[in-house]
Amino acid sequence: MAEKVLMKGNEAIAEAAILAGCRHYFGYPITPQTEIAAYMAKKMPKIGGTFLQAESEVAAINMVYGVASTGMRVMTSSSSPGISLKSEGLSYLAGADLPALVVNVQRGGPGLGGIQPSQSDYFQATRGGGHGDYHMIVLAPASVQEMASLTVKGFELADKYRMTSMILADGTMGQMMEPVSLDFEASQTVEKPWATTGTKMSRPHNIVNSLFLQPDELEKYNFERYERYKRIEETEAMCEEYMMDDAEICVAAFGIAARVSKNAVDEARKMGIKVGLIRPITVWPFPKAAFAKAADKVKAFISVELSMGQMIEDVKLATSCKKPVFLCNRAGGMIPAPEQVLASIKEAAEIGGAN
Partner 1 sequence: MSTKQFLFSGFGGQGILFAGKFLAYKGLLDEKQVSWLPSYGPEMRGGTASCSVILSDDAVGSPIVSAPDVLVAMNLPSLDKYESSVVSGGLILADSTLIERKVARDDVKVVYIPATRLAGENGIPTLANMIIVGKMLSELNDFGDASIEAALAKVVSAKRADMLDANRKALKLGAEYVGG
Nearest distance from C-beta of residue 283 to partner 1, angstroms? 20
Handedness of CA 40, 42, 46, 51 (dihedral sign): positive
Q: CA separation (Å) from 27 to 38, 60, 83, 178?
A: 10, 5, 11, 25
Nearest distance from C-beta of residue 263 to partner 1, angstroms? 4
Give 296's contacts (C-beta < 8 A, 6+ positions apart). 322
| 259 CB-side CA count, 13 A | 15
- Applying CB under 8 A, the residues found at the interface with partner 1 are 4, 6, 31-32, 115-116, 171-172, 175-179, 256, 259-260, 262-263, 266, 335, 337-338
Angle at 28 between CA 22 and CA 189, to 5 degrees: 15
Q: Where are the alpha helices (DSSP H) in the chain?
A: 9-19, 34-43, 57-69, 80-95, 122-126, 144-161, 171-175, 215-235, 255-270, 288-295, 311-318, 338-351
CA–CA distance, 16 with 127 (Å, rounded to integer): 26
- Nearest to partner 1 of 58, 176 (CB atom): 176
- Nearest to partner 1 of 195, 331 (CB atom): 331
- Nearest to partner 1 of 79, 319 (CB atom): 79
- Nearest to partner 1 of 171, 280 (CB atom): 171
- Nearest to partner 1 of 156, 170 (CB atom): 170
CA–CA distance, 227 with 219 (Å, rounded to integer): 12
Nearest distance from C-beta of residue 2 to partner 1, angstroms? 14
- Nearest to partner 1 of 59, 243 (CB atom): 243
Nearest distance from C-beta of residue 26 to partner 1, angstroms? 24
Asked if omega into 32 is within 30° of 0 (cis), the reply is yes
- Nearest to partner 1 of 183, 219 (CB atom): 183
Nearest distance from C-beta of residue 62 to partner 1, angstroms? 29
CA–CA distance, 328 with 342 (Å, rounded to integer): 10
Nearest distance from C-beta of residue 9 to partner 1, angstroms? 10
CA–CA distance, 10 with 167 (Å, rounded to integer): 11
- Nearest to partner 1 of 115, 195 (CB atom): 115
CA–CA distance, 322 with 320 (Å, rounded to integer): 5
Nearest distance from C-beta of residue 259 to partner 1, angstroms? 5
Nearest distance from C-beta of residue 144 to partner 1, angstroms? 8
